[in-house]
A and B are shown apart, each in its own frame.
Chain A
Amino acid sequence: NAGVTQTPKFQVLKTGQSMTLQCAQDMNHNSMYWYRQDPGMGLRLIYYSASEGTTDKGEVPNGYNVSRLNKREFSLRLESAAPSQTSVYFCASSEGRVGTGELFFGEGSRLTVL
């Protein structure tokens, strides 16, 4: 079972470069999420898409854009990478109904910005 697949798993960028993190889920889930995880900070919500066609800002949206391409895919774009965006990025999906809290995560993407 693929579940949530995110690519790439590792990436090194120079300051100012752009890149897109791709995420796809095969569970027919309504909601999808992008989080970043930094030491001592836990997971912080960047953007989420409660359902196909909608996106909303989370706690730390600055410097990022997202696209909910279809029900399966939710991408995260860094237009001009900064060293502060060095982090582990997790994509997740869920059924999207309040109370059904199981998020299914991808394996994470480790991004380093030099």
Chain B
Amino acid sequence: RKEVEQDPGPFNVPEGATVAFNCTYSNSASQSFFWYRQDCRKEPKLLMSVYSSGNEDGRFTAQLNRASQYISLLIRDSKLSDSATYLCVVNRDVGDMRFGAGTRLTVKP
């Protein structure tokens, strides 16, 4: 079993839709959590950190449930430019970052 598991997708949604991605992690000692975005044939880039109290960045909301070892990302009012693969990332220790396999999102006109 992979240490970080994500919805496999793909998610195909119309512009303006709300879409949610889920992620679970197996190591309860994990200390910090992130969502990354990766465009086709490009390198991943940080989208946002995930805090225990939940946090928002514009149309993006991230949630963490440590008891259930579960992380989520909600995208509201989807744009064509949101089309990408979204990667859940878990930080176990200094230098040790583990990625989920990613969920592909396609937003259509």
Interface residues of A (CB under 8 A from B): 31, 33, 35, 40-45, 48-51, 56, 58-59, 90, 94, 96-99, 101-103, 105-108
Contacts and interface: CB of A to CB of B under 8 A. Distances in A.
B46 A103 contact: yes
A34 to B, nearest CB: 12
A101 B34 contact: yes
- A interface SS class: loop
B91 interface: yes
A50 B101 contact: no
17 contacts: A31-B94, A35-B99, A41-B101, A42-B101, A42-B102, A43-B99, A45-B99, A50-B96, A51-B95, A59-B98, A90-B44, A94-B95, A101-B89, A101-B91, A105-B44, A106-B43, A107-B43
A87 to B, nearest CB: 14
Interface residues of B, number: 26
Contacts of A101: 32-34, 46, 49, 89, 91, 97
A35 B89 CA distance: 13
Nearest to B103: A42
A108 B93 contact: no
A56 B96 contact: yes
The CB with the most chain A CB atoms within 10 A, among B34, B94, B96, is that of B94
Contacts of B44: 43, 90, 103, 105
Contacts of A58: 96
B45 interface: yes
Contacts of B93: 50, 98
B69 interface: no
B75 interface: no
A58 B43 CA distance: 19
Nearest to A40: B101
Given A42-B100, A101-B49, A33 B95 contact: yes
